[in-house]
């Protein structure tokens, strides 16, 4: 067996790196040993992109993720979005805690919050209204089968789609309130495909691995609320 001291002659990885040693076929190297995978966007066997493919993609659930474009947003719309974000963060926390039932409940609530936002009733018109309708459609598609997800793995796959839509949504419309959002990326999620999610704090709580690798991830972007972002010229 390979000694960890030999594998890491320069010392053990820092807290922003995740190394997962598991003797399963997908992680075996050609010589029969266990392949070791680093976190910071790179595998030990080759360079991999640090970020997932660009947005504007059709997911397995049929959700078309809009390409983000910074838009103006009024207080009524941002208030409605806040309820959607709150449901998202409940799902994120539930999955980080390996609580399948609570995660499904939160995602169903997110679906209802998204469905309830009528652009004509929150002061959106023109291109902003059209953009929101695209996000709404993507969120509804991504959560359409939430009631039928029978394993936590299925819930996590659904949450990954919702996360991509929600990150793009925040990049387009932002959020109000006093909380700063953090985009966090784990390169090991979904067999090293990598996946991102949002949190309201910087202490990594990985929804794709839960207790298995709770701290696996690194902050990729900091998203202040719109009030603060206006002052910084965002």
How does residue 225 score in pLDDT terms, banded at 50, 70 and 90? very high
pLDDT score at 58: 52
pTM: 0.76
Q: Looking at the predicted structure, is the pLDDT value of residue 188 above 50? A: yes
Higher pLDDT, 184 or 36: 184
Number of separate helices (H) and strands (E) present in the chain: 7, 3
Q: Looking at the predicted structure, is the pLDDT value of residue 161 above 90? A: yes
Higher pLDDT, 158 or 41: 158
pLDDT score at 61: 57
Mean local confidence (pLDDT), 209-226:
97
Q: Looking at the predicted structure, is the pLDDT value of residue 94 above 80? A: yes
Q: Looking at the predicted structure, is the pLDDT value of residue 173 above 90? A: yes
pLDDT tens for each residue of 137-154 = 999 999 999 989 999 999
Phi, psi for residue 167 in degrees, rounded to 5: -65, -45
Q: For the ranges 176-185, 209-218, 223-232, which has the lowest average pLDDT? A: 223-232
Average pLDDT taken over every residue of the chain: 80
* Long-range contacts of residues 14-20, Cβ cutoff 8 Å, at least 24 apart: 15/215, 16/40, 16/217, 16/218, 18/186, 18/188, 18/213, 18/215, 18/216, 18/217, 20/188, 20/213, 20/216
pLDDT score at 62: 66
Q: Looking at the predicted structure, is the pLDDT value of residue 30 above 90? A: no
pLDDT score at 178: 94
Mean local confidence (pLDDT), 5-20:
44
pLDDT tens for each residue of 41-71 = 333 333 333 444 444 555 565 678 999 999 9
In the chain, where do the E strands start and end?
181-186, 195-199, 218-223
Are 6 and 34 within 8 A, CB to CB? no
Q: For the ranges 2-6, 88-92, 99-103, which has the lowest average pLDDT? A: 2-6
Q: Provide CB contacts within 8 A for 93, sequence distance 6+.
A: 205, 207
Q: For the ranges 65-74, 103-112, 163-172, which has the lowest average pLDDT? A: 65-74
pLDDT score at 36: 35
């Amino acid at each position: 067996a390979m000694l960890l001291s030999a594998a890491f002659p320069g010392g053990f990885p820092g807290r922003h790196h995740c190394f997962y040693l598991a003797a399963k076929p997908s992680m075996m190297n050609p010589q029969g040993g266990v392949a070791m995978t680093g976190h910071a966007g790179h595998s030990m066997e080759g360079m991999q992109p640090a970020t997932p493919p660009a947005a504007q993609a059709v997911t397995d659930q049929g959700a078309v993720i809009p390409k983000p474009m910074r838009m103006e947003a009024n207080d009524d719309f941002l208030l409605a979005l806040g309820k959607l974000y709150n449901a998202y963060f409940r799902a994120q926390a539930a999955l980080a805690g390996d609580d399948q039932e609570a995660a499904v409940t939160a995602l169903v609530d997110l679906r209802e919050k998204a469905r309830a936002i009528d652009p004509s009733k929150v002061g959106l018109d023109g291109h902003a209204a059209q953009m929101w309708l695209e996000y709404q459609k993507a969120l509804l598609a991504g959560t359409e089968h939430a009631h039928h997800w029978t394993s936590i793995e299925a819930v996590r796959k659904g949450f990954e789609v919702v996360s991509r839509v929600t990150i793009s949504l925040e990049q387009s419309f932002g959020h109000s309130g006093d909380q700063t959002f953090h985009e966090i990326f784990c390169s090991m999620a979904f067999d090293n495909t990598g996946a991102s999610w949002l949190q309201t704090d910087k202490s990594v709580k990985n929804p794709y691995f839960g207790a298995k690798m709770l701290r696996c991830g690194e902050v990729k972007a900091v998203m202040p609320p719109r009030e603060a972002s206006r002052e910084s010229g965002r």
